[in-house]
Amino acid sequence: MSAMKEILTERLLLHELHDNDHEFIFKLVNSPRWLGFIGDRNIRTLEDAITYVKKIIDNPQVRYWTVRQRTDAQPVGIITLVKRDYLDYYDIGFAFLAEYTGKGYSFEATTSILDALPEQVMMDKLLAITTEDNSRSIRLLEKLGFSYEGILNEGGKTYVKYALSSDRAEIGKLTRSFFSLFDNTSGEPDLRRIFKMCTSSAGIIKQTGRHSEIYSLESFVEPRRKILTDGTLQQFTEFEIDHETKITGNIAQRYSKFRKKGLMHGNVFEGSGHKLFHFVKNGDGWKIAHVVWEDGDHNA
C-alpha cells in the first residue's frame, strides 16, 4: 500500500505513525478503554513502546495514523488499518483517549481515512470488529455506514463483525465531496469538480416552502461561484451530520442531514437542512444523478 500524505480535517491532523509517537502510544495502550475493549499489549515501559511502534511501522500489513488536534498538535487517538490472517478483508479500527471522546473526533478522523483509502484496499468491502459490550464503537460504525455481519470467535474472544461495502464507501465519499465543493475556508473553491461527480444530465432542485428552484449543473454553479468568491460569503463550510443510504443494484438513494456555517456580509450565520441524493452506477463508478435540498429543519 502506498504512503499517504498528512490528512487535514476541520479540527484534526492525521499522519502515519512515527518513531517519536512512542510516548503517546504508551499512554494510549495503557488507558482504561484500550485495556478494557482492545486488550493488554504488555507495554510496561517506554522502551517497550518504542519496540511496539517499530514493529507496527515495519509490518506491511498494518497501518496506524496518529490523530492530533490542529490547534495545538496534541495527540488524541489513532486510526488503524490491519490485514489480519483470519479476516478476508482489511479491518479498520480507532482508539481515542477518554478525555477526547464525545467530541466527534473519531467520526471525523475515520471518515477522512475512508475517503483517502486506495481502491485496492477497499476491494469488495472493509471490515471492523469490536466487542459486544463496546456500544460506543458500535454506534460509530453504524454512523459510518457499516452493517452488522455476525459474530466472530477468535483467540478465545468473541467479537461482533461489521462491514462497509465498496459501493457504500464510494457513495459516502462522493456525498462528502459534494458538500466540500462549497467550502471556501482555505481559498477559492473549484466548483467545476461538480461535473466529474454528476451525470451530464443531473438536475438540482432547491425547495423553499412549496416553491421549487430547478437548476442544471451550469445554472447551479455560476451564482454560487459568485457569492463564494466576491466576498459575500466567507469562511463557508457545510457538512453532513447524519445519513441513510439504500442501494439496489446500480441505483442508490441517500438522505442527508447537514449543517453549514460562515460569514454572510460579514455576519456570522449557521444553518441546517436536508438533501436527498439519487445515484447511478456506470462504467466510471457511482455518479450523482439528482439532488433535492431544503434548508431548515422541517417535519414534513
Would you kindly state where each structural domain of the chain is located, as residue ranges? 7-167, 185-295
Chain-centre distance for alpha carbon 190: 21
3-state secondary structure of 133: coil
**Is 254:243 a contact under the CB 8 Å cutoff?**
yes
- Position 174 scores a pLDDT of 97
What pLDDT is recorded for position 72?
95
For residues 125, 131, 133, 134, the Cα torsion angle rounded to the nearest 10 degrees is: -60
**Residue 231 region, left (φ>0) first, then alpha (ψ -120 to 50), else beta?**
left
Based on C-alpha coordinates, what's the Rg of the chain?
A: 21
185-295 adopts what CATH topology? Nuclear Transport Factor 2; Chain: A, (3.10.450)
User: Would the pTM of this model clear 0.75, i.e. be above it?
Assistant: yes
pLDDT, one tens digit per residue, over 277-291 is 999 999 989 999 999
Rounded to a whole number of angstroms, the distance between the first and last alpha carbons of the chain is 47
Q: Give the residue ranges of the chain where pLDDT is below 70.
A: 1-4, 297-300
Q: Domain 7-167's class?
A: alpha beta
Residues with Cβ < 8 Å from 44, sequence gap 6 or more?
Answer: none
Return the pLDDT at 1.
58
**Does the CA dihedral 104-105-106-110 come out positive or negative?**
positive
Residue 63's Cβ-side half-sphere holds a number of Cα atoms within 13 Å equal to 17
